[in-house]
Amino acid sequence: MKKDIIEKGAILQRDRETYAIAPHIPGGLTDSATLRKICDVADKYRLQLKLTSAQRIALFGIKEEDLDAVWSDVAEKPGAAIGLCVRSIKICPGTTHCKRAVQDSISLGMKIDALYHALPLPNKMKMGVSGCMLSCAEVAVKDIGIMGIPKGWRILVGGNAGARPRLADMLVETSADEGAVLAVVDRIINWYRNCGREVRLGALVEELGIERFRAAVLDQL
Ligand code: SF4
């Protein structure tokens, strides 16, 4: 029986025959040449396209024997759409475009993407970065959510929009300095990698309680 082919970023579809792939498009930021290239690949192999909730473009209907050729033609890295790893970093337009923004979510989010996208972890992890408290990147339901506030950034942990929905807890607020946020994110990731458990981060936050989680993760900052 066919199944997902993780090493090729290929997700078996409902027909149990064809696959979908989703090239990595950090933050959903792309350009017309990349879009044309993806459209050309879709035309060449007669694939369907879908914009995903992880700010990617998925290509559906790929035959198993075409997977390598499709990836070669797309010529982009796979997005981490499956597997136990950092899956996606959702990023709102922030101060680059949005009139309501108070922080530069694109700059911070792209740095986080470059550092952690696809990093293997005990379970899947989703992140979000919003440029203001309106939270268009849905940071309250991300494992790590980062929200721009007037004086800097608010970091939330343990959110999950899945089968057991959970709103994230507020971990800490930092200055506007991106380095301060990145230091906290690094502490969370390292603690999670070494925790010896295979559950989502939110389950651990719930088990420990946010006060003990905060102490465990931030004690050396
Ligand atoms: S979260 Fe705030 S800054 Fe980001 S797109 Fe929404 S309104 Fe704009």
Ligand 1 pocket member 131 (CB < 6 A): yes
pLDDT value for 219? 83
Residue nearest to atom 6 of ligand 1 (CA): 136
Q: Are residues 212 and 127 in the same domain?
A: yes
Residue 219 C-alpha to ligand 1 middle, in angstroms?
31
State the DSSP H helix or E strand holding residue 64, giving kind and residue range, or none if neither. none
Ligand 1 pocket member 93 (CB < 6 A): yes
Q: What is the CATH number of the domain that holds 64?
A: 3.30.70.3340
Report the predicted TM-score, pTM, of the whole model to 2 decimal places: 0.95
Q: Is the residue at 1 inside a domain?
A: no
Separation of alpha carbons 153 and 214, rounded Å: 16
Ligand 1 pocket member 132 (CB < 6 A): yes
Q: Are residues 107 and 191 in the same domain?
A: yes
Per-residue pLDDT reduced to its tens digit, 147-194: 999 999 999 999 999 999 999 999 999 999 999 999 999 999 999 999
Separation of alpha carbons 142 and 25, rounded Å: 19
Separation of alpha carbons 38 and 137, rounded Å: 24
Of 39, 74, 109, which residue is a domain's last? 74
CA distances from 135 to 132, 145, 147 (A): 6, 9, 7
State the DSSP H helix or E strand holding residue 210, giving kind and residue range, or none if neither. helix 210-218
Q: What is the CATH number of the domain that holds 186?
A: 3.30.413.10
Q: Is the residue at 68 inside a domain?
A: yes
Domain count, the chain: 2
Per-residue pLDDT reduced to its tens digit, 157-168: 999 999 999 999
Q: Which residue has the tokens 């198993």?
A: 64
Separation of alpha carbons 174 and 40, rounded Å: 44
